[in-house]
Structure 1
Amino acid sequence: MGQHRVEHAPGEERYRSFADFYPFYLSEHANRTSRRLHVVGTGLVIISLVMGFTVSAWFFLVAPLVGYGFAWVGHFVFEKNRPATFTYPLYSLMGDFRLFFETVAARRRW
C-alpha cells in the first residue's frame, strides 16, 4: 500500500486509485457500530434517491442528510476520527457504497 500513496502536502497522503484507498477506508471504519451506521445511512440514501425519482424531488435533499448524518455519528462518536469525506470526497463515497454492497452480499461482516 505504501508505494501507492503520494505525498500531497506536509502530512497529507494522496491515493492514486480507489483500490489503493479502500484499505485505508476500511481501517477508518474498524468499529462495528460505525460500520453499521454507514450501512444503514447508505441504505437510506438509496431509498431516498429512489423516492426522489418516484415520489417527490424533495427526497433528493434528504439523501445527503441521512447519509452523512449516520456516517458522521459513526466517526465522531464511535470511531473518534475525522471522516475521510473531508479529504477524499469521491473515494469516500465510493467506499461507502462498496462497504454497503459487500455487507448486503454477506461478503463483509455486519
Structure 2
Amino acid sequence: MSQQTFESYEEFWPYYVAMHSRAATRWVHLTGTLTGLAISAYGLARGRRRYLAALPLIGYGTAWPAHFLIEKNNPATFGHPVWSLRGDAQMIRTMIAGRDAELAETAAKWLAENGRDGCGGNECG
C-alpha cells in the first residue's frame, strides 16, 4: 500500500475510518484502548506509574494485529502517528455515542471513491 498524503486532519479522517472499515477492527480498537486506559487509571490511583505503560502496550498491542488479521492492511499510525491518535479518539467517541453505523458509512464511501489501496484504481506514486 502506498503512503497517503493529506493536507489536513479533516482530509485524513475519512481515510482513517476506511482503514477501520470492518466493525471487528473498530471494536478491537475500542476494547484495547479502554482496557489500557482503565489499567493506567488504576495504576495512577494506586501510585504505580509503571501501569501507564498499559495504554500504549495494550492499545497498540491489540489494534495493530487487528489491522493485519482482520483488515489486511497496515495501521495508519505507521504513516500518520499524530493524526491516527486523534482519529482513534474520535472513532472511539463516535462508537461510545452509538454511532458505529456512521463510521461504516464513512468507510464505505471512502473505499468506493478511492479503492482499498487508496489510489482510486490508479497506480499510486
Q: Same fold (TM over 0.5)?
A: yes
1:82 shift after superposition: 0.5
Corresponding residue number in structure 2 for 1:33 = 24
> 2:83 and 2:43 mapped to 1: Cα distance?
24
Percent of matched pairs sharing the same residue = 33
Are 1:18 and 2:9 counterparts? yes
Q: RMSD in angstroms over aligned alpha carbons?
A: 1.6
**Which structure's residues are more often strand, by fraction?**
1
Corresponding residue number in structure 2 for 1:42 = 33
In structure 1, stretches of 5+ residues that fail to align are: 1-10
> 1:64 and 1:32 mapped to 2: Cα distance?
21
Provide Cα deviations, 1:47-84, integer angstroms capped at 9, x if missing partner: 13322321211111121110001111210100010101
Corresponding residue number in structure 2 for 1:4 = none
Q: How many residues align?
A: 100
In structure 2, stretches of 5+ residues that fail to align are: 104-125
> 1:80 and 1:30 mapped to 2: Cα distance?
11
Aligned-partner residue type, residue 23 of structure 1: P
3-state DSSP class of the match of 1:106?
coil
Corresponding residue number in structure 1 for 2:78 = 86
Contact 2:40–2:53 under 8 Å retained in 1: no
> 2:3 and 2:69 mapped to 1: Cα distance?
24
Corresponding residue number in structure 2 for 1:75 = 67
Corresponding residue number in structure 1 for 2:50 = 58
- Higher relative CO (CA 8 A, sep ≥ 6), structure 1 or 2? 2
Provide Cα deviations, 1:19-43, integer angstroms capped at 9, x if missing partner: 1111000110011111110111111
